[in-house]
Chain A
Amino acid sequence: MSWFTDLYQSAVGKKAVMAVTGIILFGFVLGHMIGNLKLYEPGTYCAYLDASGTCASKPLPYLDAYGAFLRQVGAPALPASGALWIVRVVLLVAVILHMWAAWQVTRLSQAARPSGYVNQPKRHTSYASRTMRWGGIIILLFVIYHLLDFTTGTLNPGFQEGAVRRNMLASFSVWYVALFYIVAQVALGFHLYHGLWSLFQSLGWNSPRFNRWRSTFAHAFAWIITIGNISFPLAVWTGLVR
């Protein structure tokens, strides 16, 4: 642990921690978006077919079956929902470290210029990089809402545990909820773009061989995740998915 705390002492170390936790969170949002594509899979999934080939279990929408799979994955080696909880703990630690380091480097940077310019300096940097801090706060508020909507069901109209597709339709049928999701995903897209590029710098992954691909990589995944995520509320809202 002393190695970690020693590294974390420095601002360069804090940025490395932000980059590594950012990679973990990026992996999660990518997987989350891909998993949600199950919304578009037509028909139902049958977990158990009997010898004659007829369905012996309750047929589920693919999205619900995928949700059930996430709770069962790792069984029987892991207890029920074991893998799910491991992932949740890792994500929670990553989110806390990411925000804590962001808070500290922000304070450090604010302290580094106690008396500001009379004429605000011209900015050459991207919109995405300038909005990292507020974008992060929007994403945090969104994640809290999102958990209350689909994990605890507190804010979901007529929430049913495990009925993932039903809950999704119920939530996104309300136009302002759908709009809030879309706005939050745009904020996530900008945050991801700068983050995915920036992490290469923070971790020192720099080489003339791949430098020009860093921005392409960041653009590609920011767009893929944003378009994928926006498509879900949009599809429900416009009635393409019922």
Chain B
Amino acid sequence: MNLTLHVWRQKSPADEGRMVRYEVTGVTEHASFLEMLDILNEQLIQKGEEPVAFEHDCREGICGSCGFMINGEAHGPLPHTTVCQLHMRHFKDGDVLHLEPWRSKAFPVVKDLVVDRGAFDRIIQSGGFVSVATGSAPEANLIPVPKALSDRAFDAAACIACGACVAQCPNSAAQLFTSAKVSHLNLLPQGQPERYDRALSMVEAMEKEGFGACSNYAECEAVCPKGISIDFIAKMNRDYLKAKSTAVPKPPLEA
């Protein structure tokens, strides 16, 4: 099949950037969306042009590296699918596709369709962990975890931090990502000692990054490739509000 692409081209973070039109020919319907871009890039290289930069790693839909807007939808039109797992059979010959990077103040464009999602890393660093004494791994069944809780925690842990939630959100809010990461640990027994500190630190880290505020539009849930539920946003809000209302301030750490 032959496609017309309008791709966001931006040489560097400082460059203004613009949409550039490309015709890509001879795409098989079995190709993934990223393989289609590989075909485009080969055609561009043969013409002596700069290939389109896009982020990718596993191409199995689990690493969270890939992702951009296809015709105004994060990861394209197929629900619960990252662009690497989106195949060209879901498009037809002659389609016109508009590709843009995630747009958010907290996700500066590095080049073309690649954005810097370091803001997510800093949110994780602020509390997305459990503090445990290191040593040999504890016996697996030492801490009993109710099945229902472990299932819910796993639903939250399915978040691959791709950033689609932020990209689709009219407010550019990072509530779905942050709440998935907060809830994943706050649901489990291992996460309880730091539960309220975690809610406080991660919400505050999120807001410091310059994401917008949640208006409960649920746009994020609609495009999340892992189907993360906005129920986790409510859970994070509850933990945060409870922490703000009842938590005793931590004494400063001794130097």
Contacts and interface: CB of A to CB of B under 8 A. Distances in A.
Contact of B241 (A16, A108, A109, A130): A16
B212 A113 contact: yes
Contacts of B219: 121, 123-125
B218 interface: yes
B241 A3 contact: no
A54 interface: no
Interface in A191-241: 194, 197-198, 200-206, 211
A112 interface: yes
B107 to A, nearest CB: 10
B214 interface: yes
A77 interface: no
Interface in B202-247: 203-204, 207, 210-219, 222-223, 230-231, 233-242, 244-245
Contacts of A120: 72
B123 interface: no
B172 interface: yes
B105 A114 contact: yes
Contact of B100 (A12, A105, A112, A118): A118
B105 to A, nearest CB: 5
B80 to A, nearest CB: 14
Contacts of B214: 11-12, 15, 201-202
A119 B98 contact: yes
A111 B237 contact: no
Contact of B216 (A10, A11, A111, A129): A129
Given A12-B241, A129-B217, A112 B106 contact: yes
Contacts of B231: 206, 211
Of A12, A108, A194, A205, which is in contact with the most chain B CB atoms at under 10 Å from its CB? Answer: A12
B213 A15 contact: yes
Given A118-B19, A121-B72, A201-B230, A112 B211 contact: yes
Contacts of A204: 234-242
Dominant secondary structure of chain A at its interface with chain B: helix
Interface residues of A, number: 43
A117 B168 CA distance: 10
A63 interface: no
Interface in A98-118: 105, 108-118
A121 B72 CA distance: 4
Contacts of A82: none
Q: Identify the interface centre among A113, A117, A206: most chain B CB within 10 Å of its CB.
A: A113
Contact of A117 (B69, B235, B238): B69
B65 interface: no
B68 to A, nearest CB: 11
A156 B100 CA distance: 54
A122 B71 contact: yes
A197 to B, nearest CB: 7
A206 B241 CA distance: 13
A203 B234 CA distance: 7
B172 A119 contact: no
Contacts of A50: none
A127 to B, nearest CB: 11
A14 interface: yes
Contacts of A119: 69, 71-72, 98, 100
A202 B175 CA distance: 11
B173 A118 contact: no
A7 interface: yes
A120 B71 CA distance: 8
A6 B170 contact: no
Contact of B223 (A11, A16, A124): A124
29 contacts: A6-B244, A10-B240, A11-B207, A11-B214, A105-B215, A108-B213, A109-B171, A112-B105, A112-B172, A113-B104, A113-B105, A115-B103, A116-B103, A117-B100, A118-B100, A119-B69, A122-B71, A124-B222, A125-B170, A125-B217, A129-B215, A129-B216, A129-B218, A130-B170, A201-B230, A202-B216, A204-B236, A205-B234, A205-B238
Instruction: Please give me the 6 A-B residue pairs with the lowest Cβ-Cβ distance, nearest first.
Output: A204-B238, A109-B212, A206-B234, A112-B212, A109-B171, A124-B222
Interface of A: 3, 6-7, 10-16, 105, 108-125, 129-130, 132, 194, 197-198, 200-206, 211
